[in-house]
Amino acid sequence: MEQTLPDPGLAKGEHRCPGETYQDVLRRDETGAPPQMMTESYEYLGDEPIGYYRYTSKEFLELEFEKVWSKVWQWACREEHIPNVGDYYVYDIGHRSIIIVRGDDGVIRAMDNFCGHRGTQLKPSWDNGNANRFTCRFHGWAWSTSGNIASVPCRWDFPGHSDDDLKLPSIQVDTWGGFVWVNFDKNAAPLREYLGVMPEHFTGNWDLSDRYLELHLRKRLPANWKASMGAFLEAYHVYKTHPEGLRATGDANAQYDVFGENVSRFMHTSGTQSPHIERKQTEQEILNFVLRRRYGNPDDVPKVPEGKTARDVYYKIVQDELKQRFNHDFSRFKVAETLDSIEYFVFPNAFFFPGAARPMVYRFLPHPTDPDECIFELLFLRFAPDGQEPPAPARPYDLDVQESYMSAPGMEKGLGFVYDQDTDNLAAQQRGFKGSLKGGEILGNYQEVRVRHVHKVIDKYLAQP
């Protein structure tokens, strides 16, 4: 496709893909779209290169743990992981480890997962279960689920320390969206303030607390946590990384938004052709392509009625499929909520998809010491079947670097293939950070604004004393 050069009459940050916008598509949908999707909130954040050292330096990684991860709200687990008194879940970030526990009074607490005597880790990393106390295997010191000291063998030998002195240090904890969030900074602003527009936008159909954890994958990636996140913060890569879907995927005309300090979003369509496709397809051709990709060669392809779009027809097909598959009525979801990739990001590492067909959550966890690695967690949050209690949350399934997402039990093969495409680029990119003769990456002002936004917020924390 012939490249369209930037219009010299526009200021930086004002350039957009020629042709229809994401908002144009929403206005054509027969169901309309929810109000939070009809807003735009782009902010130009500059165009200077981002230094590669931020992805490769051990010193920079240590600074992030010291000044960023110690100050931010981060989700640790789902509330459904700890529904009963005594249920606990261990969350690790860097060298820190926290026990999230539901106490005898039903209150969720977060406390240090290290013995107050000589520092031994109390519960294994990422452990979860039920307990009435947490006992150190080294000398037998024990704490209650409220963090109070419960037992000290030979208590007489510690006369200078009161029971209050021996409590496990507590960590700020709160809940939102069915997730349990923690913050090591005792002076941090409340979670609701930190989340910005999230509580306002994620209501009704988008309420994530009304869902259960159907699938939970953890994969080791051969790249820095920020670089790995960057692969999911933009749709610019679709043109080359996922070219097989361009005939029915809006990529270059995706919408990018920055909502204040901690939240960003992109939205791109399914059931419209990419601006990179030169020939204008008919709505029927788009629908035919979508259905062939999704179902092979279906026997009966419906006709797109006059005045309707491929999206309108495809929407009803997906609605019926979801209802049959999950025994749940999705009719309250509009076209865009059902089909499109709607992705919100909450700094520093959490992605939330509120849609019906794309109900994912991502989390990226940096390696404690190696800037060249991270863990990518992929969760699917589903609605329980109508009239039934939700199942217990899925146990995590671990994948190593070379293992395909398609090999994970419960993962759709087609979607697993897409995630393989997304992460197969990362090792080559991480090597480029180290070997390139250039000192930094060049980012698009619009399509990659969310990548720049992450670095801007990191810089804010690093600048604090």
**Per-domain residue ranges of the chain:** 22-56+206-462, 75-193
Q: How far is CA 144 from CA 23, 116, 132, in A?
A: 54, 13, 6
In the chain (465 residues long), the average pLDDT of successive 10-residue segments reads 80 95 97 97 97 98 98 98 98 98 97 98 98 98 97 97 97 98 97 98 97 98 98 97 95 97 97 95 95 82 95 96 96 98 98 96 98 98 96 97 97 95 96 97 98 98 94
| pLDDT of res. 32 | 96
CATH classification code of 22-56+206-462: 3.90.380
Q: What is the pLDDT of residue 294?
A: 84
**404 near 222, Cβ under 8 Å?**
no
Give, as one character, the DSSP assignment of residue 108: E
The pLDDT value recorded for residue 450 is: 98
Distance of CA 283 to the CA centre of its chain: 32
Q: Which residues contact 443 (CB under 8 A, 6 or more apart)?
A: 47, 49, 50, 449, 451, 452
| Confidence (pLDDT) at 155 | 97
**Beta strands 212-221 and 374-382: pairing type?**
antiparallel
**CATH number at 75-193:** 2.102.10.10
Q: Which pTM does this prediction carry? A: 0.97
By the 8 A CB rule, do 68 and 93 touch? no
Tokens read off for 228: 């790995």
